[in-house]
Amino acid sequence: MDAISIGLLGLGTVGSGVVKIVENHQDKLMHQIGCPVRINKILVKNIEKERDVHVDPALLTDSPDDILENPDINIIIEVMGGVEETRKYLLRAVRNKKHVVTANKDLMALYGPELLAEATRNKCDLFYEASVAGGIPILRGLVDGLASDRITKMMGIVNGTTNFILTKMSKSGSPYEEALAQAQQLGYAESDPTADVEGLDAARKMAILATLGFSMNIDLDDVSCEGITHITEEDIDYSKQLGYTMKLIGIADRVGEKVEVSVQPALLNETHPLAAVNDEYNAVYVYGEAVGETMFYGPGAGSLPTATAIVSDLVGVMKNMRLHINGRSAGAPQYEKNLKNEDEIFAKHFLRLHVKDEIGVFATITTLFAQHSISFEKILQLPLAEKGHAEIVLVTHRASLKNFHTILQQLRDNELVLEIKSTYRVEGDDKK
């Protein structure tokens, strides 16, 4: 086989990492696929810009046609980001019979089924391992390593920025604003951190994971999403007192043929393996009917970890080229989408209330929960500095989300309850 020619869309942090790995690992790539691998052209916005990685200026272009319409290029690696324009580029690529490797989670969460179907029609591969959890081979693990199993639940920390912030709040007592500023200084958070701190980035990744793990087309709009901006130091302190660690958790859960996909701050039992995942690291806990429990752990972002996942996908494409089996990996989903209703989603819940400090208040609250068959697992009751006010912190046993939301509304309407300060899902007490 002659040298395989690559077109690279983007030369930022991750694109630079791809160039370094392709150049420095030629011997390993040659050993795996039996021929040289060459970067033919690189699309950039500004050809004259100084970059961290040295590349031959002759490789740079600011015209996408130099790559998309180049008959000598076999594989396109997309690390430029963006959605609408990038979608058009990748559709053109596969229609021109070019295989694609992408790290674009936003694109795959929104247009993954369309792009994969078009790639299959044109007998092209479209691989996207790097779109979820950076250097952790979670997608390959689901598709290949656990291919014979039936996945029932995936629960993970899939956003390094929020995990760094919550680690600083928990370990150092930093308030949210201070922890966010530190994340921005270290380059873990963007100047506009909305996508991370509001849970949108994690939601995109959970949509991708659920689609693959459950063989069901899960759209981004199907993911219930809540961020971390409202978490207070008091919430962190109370979670510690009760034996929990606060994390932004993505959950994809299947019972029978119905699924739930969500992202929210949750309290994890401090003995659960995910509770020990700190700073910018990611981890995904996977439950299979046959294998039981497995966990994928590692750096969730960064130039070389993400580039490693991209080049691993590149090797997969090149091996398929040798075997003449490209375009066969993206099978149609096996199941129709079937989402759980609120009365089918069960979990434990943490609740923090400010109430009037009067006789009978706690009995009233207990009666309200009992009417919906919800009991308490853990309770703290504390006086507040303001006279006549008290704070109640409790953890329920498992209850349906519908019943819990009904109780929250009844608490808001009760004159004895001054304010619902916070509420969080509780996970990991039973490892599932």
| Separation between Cα atoms, residue 101 and residue 79, nearest integer Å | 9
Question: Tokens in use for 260?
Answer: 């739930």
| Separation between Cα atoms, residue 67 and residue 54, nearest integer Å | 20
Asked if 9 and 43 count as a contact pair (C-beta separation under 8 A), the reply is yes
Find all residues with CB under 8 Å of 200, minimum gap 6, and list them. 194, 225, 227
pLDDT computed for residue 1 by the predictor? 60
* Mean pLDDT, 10 residues at a time, the chain of 432 residues: 89 92 90 90 92 90 97 96 96 97 93 93 93 82 83 95 96 94 89 94 94 92 96 95 96 96 97 94 93 88 83 92 84 87 97 93 93 93 86 96 96 94 90 46
Closest CA to 415 of 355, 374, 375: 355
pLDDT computed for residue 331 by the predictor? 65
- Per-residue DSSP letter, 3: P
Alpha-carbon dihedral sign for residues 197, 156, 146, 295: positive
Say what the alpha-carbon torsion angle 400, 406, 411, 412 is, to the nearest 10 degrees: 130
| Separation between Cα atoms, residue 62 and residue 388, nearest integer Å | 68
Helix axes 160-171, 233-241, angle to 10 degrees: 70
Question: Could you tell me the domains of the chain?
Answer: 4-134+303-323 (3.40.50.720), 143-298 (3.30.360.10), 342-427 (3.30.70.260)
The active-site residue, picked from 205, 319, 421, 431, is 205
267 phi/psi in degrees, rounded to 5:
-95, 120
Asked if 323 and 314 count as a contact pair (C-beta separation under 8 A), the reply is no
Count, residues in the chain:
432
Instruction: Establish whether 205 is a catalytic residue.
Output: yes
- What is the secondary structure of 106-168 as a DSSP string? HHHHHHHHHHHHHHHHTT--EE-GGGSSTT--HHHIIIIITTTS-EEEEEEE--HHHHHHHHH
Asked if 199 and 224 count as a contact pair (C-beta separation under 8 A), the reply is no
pLDDT computed for residue 300 by the predictor? 73
Bridge partner list, 294: 286
| Separation between Cα atoms, residue 404 and residue 347, nearest integer Å | 10
pLDDT computed for residue 189 by the predictor? 85
| Separation between Cα atoms, residue 323 and residue 123, nearest integer Å | 13
